[in-house]
């Protein structure tokens, strides 16, 4: 078997890993995807999908399936959580679709993950494996080998590591230590639409910006669910994710905010907590026949809602480069890295800036409100062209 006919080994079965397998298959490239968990599933709740990622959904042949489960918000709205005033309202319906050529939507992470999974299962070029924890890997120059926890070895053409924020493969390629803990914590929950307080269910993405806090809410799954994300500053947690939140601490952080905020927070009895982390942008994600993708390459804070979108952009780009240089994975991965690293670095940096902007206090809060309320629709669209037009 020619080396280029051997499969690409993908480590990680999350959104980035599945998107990579699908993108490669559509270019005629076989892959073996290794997921350490017993089943393929996605932990989380709502996710925002910008026009930029819809271009990739179209390339992957899954746009219609994504849209079937999604909700298309009419506006992005920021409100001041202390006064209740609307700071800015950006129309995201037909006008935005006409401007960027693609829609803006929100969906459940599990629905996005399942759509990718079903598309992968339909591809003969993809082998999906669970209970496959990778413990070692080797690049021999003319091929790669990974070793699983049970001792099994799997050979392939190259490796794409989609193993997330705590990527073990990144530790070898970049060696930049632990992720940076932001000091921000996100509490996430989903309500049935019927339990939303009267008058507060709306087809918009709404962000209540408070001092060192914010609350985001929007409908999910064809309007059947209502997603809530509450974020606040805390130094109590050094690292970790996906634990149960402390309702008393949450209420304390959001005190003195508008009744609508407290009405929504009071509806949730159990929250899932994530400690928000990222890393400094780097220019090198590859080493020989091994490449990083998604959070393994460029973990980012959530404030631009682009983590999964950037991973899917990565996947489509990587597949294009590998198909063009099938005889030389190293050159293909370098070309992928060159095309992607500045764009993702900008998202990483701007996500931090937006987090500071959302959580502003004192005069900076007043300045933020004045700047954003002074923008017209054309200016708001132009300010997002670099991201949504990509």
Is 388 known to be catalytic? no
- In the predicted model, what is the mean pLDDT of residues 217-232? 94
Q: What is the CATH number of the domain that holds 329?
A: 3.50.50.60
Strand 272-278 with 241-244, pairing: antiparallel
Q: CB of 94 within 8 A of CB of 56?
A: no
Listed residue (267, 245, 132) closest to 193, CA to CA: 267
Distance CA 161, CA 170 (A): 8
Order of strands across the sheet that contains 144-148: 134-139, 144-148, 153-156
Token pair recorded at residue 247 = 């309702």
CA nearest neighbour of 226 among 191, 202, 262, 199: 191
Nearest to 162 by CA among 324, 307, 328, 288: 307
Q: Please name the residue that has the structure tokens 């999908």.
A: 49
Asked if residue 142 is part of any domain, the answer here is yes
**β-strand 126-129 against 31-34: which pairing, if any?**
parallel
In a domain, residue 81? The reply is no
Structural domain includes residue 200: no
Hey, what are 321's tokens?
């480069």
Number of domains in the chain: 1
**Order of all β-strands in the sheet with 8-11:** 126-129, 31-34, 8-11, 158-161, 290-292, 286-287
In tens, the pLDDT along 275-325 reads 899 999 999 999 999 999 999 999 999 999 999 999 999 999 999 999 999
Q: Kindly tell me if the per-residue pLDDT of 3 is higher than 60.
A: no
- 87 in a structural domain: no
What CA–CA distance (Å, rounded) separates 252 from 122?
49
Angle between helices 307-324 and 51-60 (to 10 degrees): 40
The pLDDT confidence band at residue 85, using thresholds 50, 70 and 90, is very high
- Predicted local confidence at residue 4, as pLDDT: 61
Joined together, the tokens standing for residue 232 give 């606040």
23 located within any domain: yes
Residue 40 is assigned to a structural domain of this protein: yes
Q: Alpha-carbon dihedral of residues 233, 240, 341, 338, nearest 10 degrees?
A: 180
The single residue of 218, 303, 358, 388 carrying the catalytic annotation is 218
- Domain assignment present for residue 33? The answer is yes
Domain that holds residue 312: 3-68+105-178+279-356
* Residue 30, in any domain of the structure: yes
């Amino acid at each position: 078997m020619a080396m280029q006919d051997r499969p690409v080994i993908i480590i990680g079965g999350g959104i980035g890993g599945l998107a990579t397998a699908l993108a490669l298959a559509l270019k005629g490239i076989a892959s073996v995807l290794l997921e350490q968990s017993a089943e393929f599933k996605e932990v989380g709740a709502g996710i925002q999908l910008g026009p930029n990622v819809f271009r990739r959904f179209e390339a992957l042949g899954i746009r219609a399936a994504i849209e079937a489960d999604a909700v298309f918000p009419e506006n992005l709205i920021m409100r001041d959580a202390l006064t209740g005033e609307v700071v800015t309202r950006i129309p995201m319906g037909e006008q935005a679709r006409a401007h960027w050529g693609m829609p803006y939507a929100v969906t459940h992470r599990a629905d996005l993950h399942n759509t990718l999974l079903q598309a992968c299962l339909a591809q003969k070029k993809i082998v999906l494996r669970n209970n496959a924890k990778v413990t070692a890997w080797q690049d021999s120059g003319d091929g790669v080998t990974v070793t699983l926890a049970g001792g099994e070895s799997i050979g392939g053409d190259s490796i794409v590591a989609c193993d997330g924020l705590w990527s073990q493969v990144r530790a070898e390629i970049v060696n930049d230590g632990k992720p940076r803990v932001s000091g921000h914590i996100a509490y996430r929950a989903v309500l049935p639409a019927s339990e939303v307080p009267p008058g507060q269910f709306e087809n918009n993405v709404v962000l209540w910006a408070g001092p060192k806090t914010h609350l985001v809410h929007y409908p999910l799954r064809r309007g059947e669910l209502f997603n809530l994300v509450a974020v606040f500053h805390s130094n109590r947690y050094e690292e970790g994710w996906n634990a149960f939140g402390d309702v008393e601490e949450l209420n304390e952080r959001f005190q003195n905010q508008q009744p609508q905020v407290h009405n929504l927070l009071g509806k949730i009895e159990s929250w899932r907590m994530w400690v928000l982390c990222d890393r400094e942008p780097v220019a090198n994600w590859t080493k020989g026949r091994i490449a990083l993708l998604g959070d393994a390459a460029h973990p980012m804070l959530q404030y631009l809602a682009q983590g999964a979108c950037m991973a899917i952009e990565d996947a489509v780009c990587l597949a294009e480069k590998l198909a063009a240089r099938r005889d030389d994975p190293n050159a293909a991965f370098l070309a992928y890295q060159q095309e992607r690293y500045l764009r993702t670095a900008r998202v990483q940096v701007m996500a931090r800036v937006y987090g500071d902007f959302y959580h502003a206090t004192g005069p900076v809060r007043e300045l933020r409100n004045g700047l954003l309320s002074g923008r017209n629709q054309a200016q708001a669209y132009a300010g997002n062209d670099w991201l949504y037009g990509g």
